[in-house]
Chains A and B, each alone.
Chain A
Amino acid sequence: MTKSKVTRRGMFAGSAALMAGAFATPVRGAPPEAQKITGELIAAAKKEGKATWYTSVDLPVAEKIAKAFEAKYPGVTMRVERSGAERIFQRIGQEYASKIYNCDVVNSSDAAHLIVWKREKLLAAWLPEDVAQHFPAAHKDPDGMYASWRVTLAPIAYNTKLVKKEDAPKSYADLIDPKWASKIVKAHPGYSGTIMTATQQLSRDLGWKWFEALAKQKIMQVQSAADPPKKLALGERSVMADGTEYVVTELKARGEPIEPVYATEGTPLITGPSAIMARAANPNAARLFYAWSMTAEAQQLSVDVGAMRSAHPLVKERPDRPRLADIKTLREDATAVADQADDLKTRYTRIFKV
């Protein structure tokens, strides 16, 4: 039934060797011109009046960002469609196969998706001024098709009421200690792009043996990377093996008993690029939202309200957690994720049974 569908593995066979660095895709021609938010763009966006944003960012955060945009540009209503990045990837594929073009702006926590969409010519080239002027090369597509709207980490964390600081795990190796049996919660790479990306990095650096050992710990398997921190806050589990950092930060700032651990082996680094769909039904509203979301102002909001990290150099880090530069991170390799995604999911499902 999905004859026409291109598998990610097929797309990347043979091309992997060309890739270097997370975002390197062959440059098609001269980079597009940088675009300002002009009066005409705003007027055109208001005429369309709405835009649909597919994102995998935690729902309360996504809605806050959308509301901030609506407040800044009254007359453009945002519709947030939130699901796990892997679900969104599947959803867009399924919708496009049926010629349904609901999505205007997309944001994924699996950078590999953007590479695939670009190759399938699903994305529009449009380079906001902020991205052109400020974003480092590693965080933007040379053809101006996408840029890192957010950067996140997938740390370990624990509930400080249930685990004493000195007993808390320090590393991934600590997590497979039998004393953590039945106490760990973990999200799923078949749903979450953050976890898909983290799984690729951890299986590369620690080997699948580590996952096999972890599977013996009777973990609680949830779907979204936003859920493990919430399960810690509920007190349902003591430790999360993975999950998204911004929800941990946010819950901690709200006074919940939760503390992140940046593992000694390094913490998975996840960039979450955004893009405008080439077939967007509301192209101007899409451009306006996309351009605004990359401004220093909006990026600062993502950090202050959403507790995410930013690729924008003008954005100030939060005082309540270590700076990104000071954390040992694992190397992100979106091309490898794109290449191995099906295999990663299959292996994961075999080990964890779901």
Chain B
Amino acid sequence: MRGTLDLSRPVLFATVALLTVLILLPMGWLLVSSLLDKQGELTFGNFVTLFTDSSFLEPLETTLIISVSVAAICCAVAAPMGWLVARTDMPMRRTVRTLMMATLVTPPFVGAIAWEMLAAPNSGLLNQLWRLLTGAGADQSLFDIYTLPSLIFVIACYTLPYVFILVANSLDRMPGELEDASSMLGGSAWQTARRITVPLALPVLLAGALVAFLQALNLFGSPAILAIPAGFHTLTTKIWSLFQFPPKAELAAAASLPLLLLTILLLRAQSMVLGRRSYAVLGGKYGEPRLVRLGVLRMPALLLCLFVLAMPFFLPYLALFNSAFSRVASRIVSAETITLHNFRFTFVELSSTLPALWNTFLLATLTATIGALLALVIAYIVARKAMVGHRVLAFLATAPLAIPGIVLGVGLFIAYTRPPLQLYGTLWILLIAFVTIELPAAYQQLGSAFHAVHPELEEAGRMLGASRLRTLADITAPLLRTAVAATWCFVFVAVLRELSAAVILFTSETKVLSVLIFDLKESGDVGAIAVLSLVMIAITTVVVALANWLGGGGGRGLVRS
């Protein structure tokens, strides 16, 4: 029955071995280093420093404040907005939904830079406008972006879409019968919403809160851009600062562990919450949910949604376009002052632009290809229970979700700056980082796609004597073509915007676009930043559109950055 050469087993084992090395090597080194001192002796000193030195305790506290606040804000905004879009007759529902998805295209650190242009206390465009309108004095300002509340606001802006999509999608799927029953029994629209819809949506809201909390917890770019000028650190920026001279990789390793543990705990909590999500909606076929009539509130509701969208979308893009065409970012471009100077500087004078674009393109292509293939093989093994220990494989493929980018960066740095694998300084180390980071999203996407393909076609192939690999290549993969292509695109986009691991791992020869933007930020070259950010967003938009056209959907590949 079998072909003479069945490579299935070796390929499967190689996948498991590869995954184990990818994840366990950096994490193992992280753990080991956190217990060593500079001389390589065993010590708990790093943890003592971590939990007694106020320069670590304060960032820890700040990080928790930020994460909790971001989670609360996101839920408070995403819940009503998701409900308006999914369950009411608000005009332009689809547009609002699409625009919210489009904000996912903006990397959070670009959003933070744009908000700096908008709301820096003196030069911020919004503050200038406010002064113009109210005649307030030169040293008065409406907003100050360099504060903790503003940082929370900016992080919330770019975390909101994840929670919104989660809520809106789950409200789409929620059956209408229970609501119908309520209204038939004489409940008003509001009563129904309060008594039926909200309780049903509560688990997903909780899951959304956890997603938001995790995003905020592990974000590096936005705090680096807004917190440091204001004179405070978060845990991620503190870890990054430990790589200044003299580098303290051991302390960074120790400081990474709380982030890691917290993330693992929260992911456990999330899967418990999401696991219970369907508890209330058992049985039968469901009708289309009935739309709530908003009556006179239709327009106000839409205006409210557009107002919310202005925060992560309309306003930041206005600011970026303004700076890209302006000599001085704090002045509004006019017909007389418009200049292409920033474009010329970025593409003609700046000698690292083209190498960085090339590195980014190469890494994104390779990561997307390897990531999609690896995810395909793993998803196949798990979905078809193709080998003993497929559960372990599923766990390994999801585990990187629990590793914040900066923590992975630290782990990889320690693991690959020593023999036998001295990969630091090559694109390989970045490739490993990106594949590891993007694997969970790719795996989840393809995993769910496998459920849609009935195994009978594969079984037919196997019965006719094809090996597992051959059936996978000839039968399953073509059936999953669109899902694979969509996964490829989402991984590609996610790599474009990855900053937190890259900022630890790059060298002058292996700089990527996100790191270049971050570097320019440190020397204040705002015009070039605006140009490069717009280039990055343009590429992302094209690829996401491609992915949607190919039939993928949702923004799952973008979940981490």
Which A residues contact B (CB, under 8 angstroms)? 1-3, 5, 7-8, 52, 54, 58-60, 63-64, 66-67, 77-84, 86-87, 89-91, 93-95, 97-100, 102-103, 162, 182-183, 190-191, 218-224, 226-227, 230-231, 233-238, 256, 341-342, 345, 349-350, 352-354
State how many angstroms separate the Cβ of B23 from the closest Cβ of chain A: 20
Tell me which of B229, B244, B345, B524 contacts A90 (CB under 8 A).
B244
Tell me which of A52, A238, A256, A352 contacts B508 (CB under 8 A).
A52
- Which A residues lie within 8 Å of B524 (CB)? 222, 224, 226-227, 230-231
State how many angstroms separate the Cβ of A179 from the closest Cβ of chain B: 10
Sample 12 A-B pairs with CB under 8 A, ordered by A number: A1-B249, A60-B525, A64-B349, A82-B519, A100-B507, A182-B121, A182-B139, A224-B524, A226-B524, A231-B524, A238-B122, A354-B232
Known: A90-B247, A94-B247, A162-B138. A221 touches B417 (CB 8 A): no
- Which A residues lie within 8 Å of B249 (CB)? 1-2
Tell me which of B36, B355, B425, B523 contacts A59 (CB under 8 A).
B523
Q: A98-B422, A103-B508, A350-B55 are in contact. List 5 more A-B contacts (CB 8 A).
A: A2-B38, A59-B520, A183-B139, A222-B524, A227-B522
CB nearest to B231 among chain A residues: A353
CB nearest to A254 among chain B residues: B327
User: A353 CA to B62 CA in the complex, in Å?
Assistant: 13
Q: Which of B241-255 contact A (CB under 8 A)?
A: 241, 243-247, 249-250
- Which A residues lie within 8 Å of B227 (CB)? 354
User: A86 CA to B241 CA in the complex, in Å?
Assistant: 12
Known: A236-B330, A349-B55. A87 touches B244 (CB 8 A): yes
CB nearest to B528 among chain A residues: A59
User: A52 CA to B522 CA in the complex, in Å?
Assistant: 21
CB nearest to A62 among chain B residues: B351
CB nearest to A215 among chain B residues: B231
CB nearest to A64 among chain B residues: B349
Asked if B81 is an interface residue, CB under 8 A from chain A, the answer is no
B244 in contact with A236 (CB, 8 Å): no
Which B residues contact A (CB, under 8 angstroms)? 33, 36, 38-40, 55, 58, 120-123, 138-139, 146, 227-233, 241, 243-247, 249-250, 328-330, 345, 349-352, 355, 414, 417, 422, 424-425, 507-509, 519-520, 522-526
CB nearest to B327 among chain A residues: A254
User: A230 CA to B330 CA in the complex, in Å?
Assistant: 11
CB nearest to A224 among chain B residues: B523
- Which B residues lie within 8 Å of A82 (CB)? 519, 523
State how many angstroms separate the Cβ of B447 from the closest Cβ of chain A: 37
User: A191 CA to B121 CA in the complex, in Å?
Assistant: 24
B425 in contact with A98 (CB, 8 Å): yes
B243 in contact with A90 (CB, 8 Å): yes
State how many angstroms separate the Cβ of A308 from the closest Cβ of chain B: 16
B232 in contact with A353 (CB, 8 Å): yes
Known: A100-B507, A354-B233. A59 touches B228 (CB 8 A): no
User: A1 CA to B328 CA in the complex, in Å?
Assistant: 44
Tell me which of B36, B58, B123 contacts A234 (CB under 8 A).
B123
Known: A1-B414, A63-B349, A86-B244. A219 touches B231 (CB 8 A): yes
B231 in contact with A190 (CB, 8 Å): no
User: A78 CA to B44 CA in the complex, in Å?
Assistant: 47
- Which A residues lie within 8 Å of B36 (CB)? 1
- Which A residues lie within 8 Å of B120 (CB)? 234, 236
User: A223 CA to B518 CA in the complex, in Å?
Assistant: 12
B508 in contact with A91 (CB, 8 Å): yes
CB nearest to B120 among chain A residues: A236
User: A52 CA to B509 CA in the complex, in Å?
Assistant: 10
Known: A3-B39, A79-B352, A183-B139. A58 touches B244 (CB 8 A): no
- Which A residues lie within 8 Å of B350 (CB)? 59, 63
A354 in contact with B330 (CB, 8 Å): no
State how many angstroms separate the Cβ of B196 from the closest Cβ of chain A: 50
